Structure 1
Amino acid sequence: MKLKLVLMLVAVFLVGCSEQKPPVKVLSNAWIGFTPLFYAQEKGWLKEANIELSTVVSLGESMMIFSSGDFDGMTGTQYEFNKLKSKQFDMVPVVMFDRSNGGDMVMGNIDIDTLRSSDQAVDVVLEINSINMPLFQDFVRRHHLENVAFNFINKDQSKLVSYIKQQTDIGPTLAVTYIPYNFELQTIGFKILASTKDIAELLVLDALYVKRDSMQKNQHSYQKLAEAVQRALKDLHENPKVYYELVKHYLENPSYKEFKASLADIEWLSPPFSEKLQNRMQQIDFPYQDIM
């Protein structure tokens, strides 16, 4: 009788193991708007949702790893989303995080008037295959800088700052960056020349984009993830200092003051979206209908 009971328990255990789905694998880069993911990771909520999070430094690195690796989804802007679609990835946004409202910026060691009259090539350090490029192009158009010669230097955000700091005889230089990397540039004299706060027409949305078949197979996991994001935001509003302590190492360890300043440069978003925002999303062909 005891042997029979043991065998039954073993059978139940094996069936349970066989039914356990492999984890949903997602990638995220260091961005203030993705900290609810990092917080949920630290709290163990992602594990409960059967989600495995990998973090990288930059959007470019995230795109490269996602394109060549076995991942279900990645965080990013609609620019990265459209890039992946152009590479034949059937992707869909499932969790919305925020809208950049000053968090993406063009910085420089010269002002715009000096830049406009420059008779030498101006270095522009940026992540070329990211939202950095359309942001810079908009900056050039708005400030009528089409006649300025630019020398593009492709660096991910972690290397962008160190590259600029290593230049012993630096000339006129622009950096296209985003929080939290702007803080270190400010310490060496770079100032913000333009940002997404100044450009109402440039809508920059941050979301989790996943392969369509993964969304269909793992709806429960993504729903739990969306709920975890809202729990994280609730904790952020109720006790920002505790939240900061859990996520700061994902963000290059900014000070608490810098962290709070970063939060002012984004607008948290979740459904239901306003009619105005839905219209803006439709204008840029952003499919928001499946966002949880």
Structure 2
Amino acid sequence: MFFDEQIRRCGVDYFDYYLLHNLGRDRYINTEKYGGFPFIERLKRDGYARNIGFSYHDNAETLDRILTEHPEVDFVQLQINYLDWESQVAQSGACYEVAKKHGKKVMVMEPVKGGTLAKLPDNAMKSFNEYYEKGNLYIPTPASLAIRYAASLEDVAIVLSGMSNLEQLDDNTSYMQEFKPLTDGEKNLVENITDILNSTIKVPCTACKYCLEECPKNINIPDYFGLLNLYAVTGKTTGMYYERFSMNHGKASECLKCGKCENICPQHISIRAFIDEFVDLYEK
């Protein structure tokens, strides 16, 4: 059995935290089909896992459904960082609130968003340095600010951080050993940096979904534009999200160029042109 192999390779008798990996709308269906939750529940009952849960990349609505149907889990591992907090794509804040509502511990992944929040653009770094220099304060790293943001949230038990060298390890352990939550001033700084990063957003879409109701191909225009905006901010594509957003929806390349979406859009967005950009980015 694969679990016996996991125990053997790790050299342990049990796991403190054992999770089902990367649940979402699609994988949740298969997890239910093949008995994933009864399996981890049995591991806990037999003493092989102290805490059971799952990692998650999807919307808050589906997370609420999973936690409602499986109250036996102890924790959820979520992508949480200050840039994604109000994102219509990652929905960090909304997912966190769902986990909190269900009384689940939160394990944080992607606190620096794959390095995006560790290497801020010049205008954001200017605000960052000015804040700490003005108060004659110790100037931390941008990565430490991002990790402390996540760790300051109530019900967060663990913050995971991918590190590539000893310097980053020393930095992380230095401020987490005697952890101090963000001050009000630092919270304002985070908001300012978020505004600067979001100012590069490409499509002024508010996700009202009027276009989705009119589209003859049921193309998930709002979420696709969310991915386009995410790319504008981070310079990175996220194919995993596109795969999920296109479930039960038309691909962007299926657009008929009929213009029904543009006729109803309250923001008067040139939707067809942005769809072409999206196709170039995600389907070629």
How does the TM-score come out when normalised to structure 2? 0.26
Q: Higher strand fraction: Structure 1 or Structure 2?
A: 1
Say which structure, 1 or 2, has more relative contact order (CA 8 Å, 6+ apart): 1
How does the TM-score come out when normalised to structure 1? 0.25
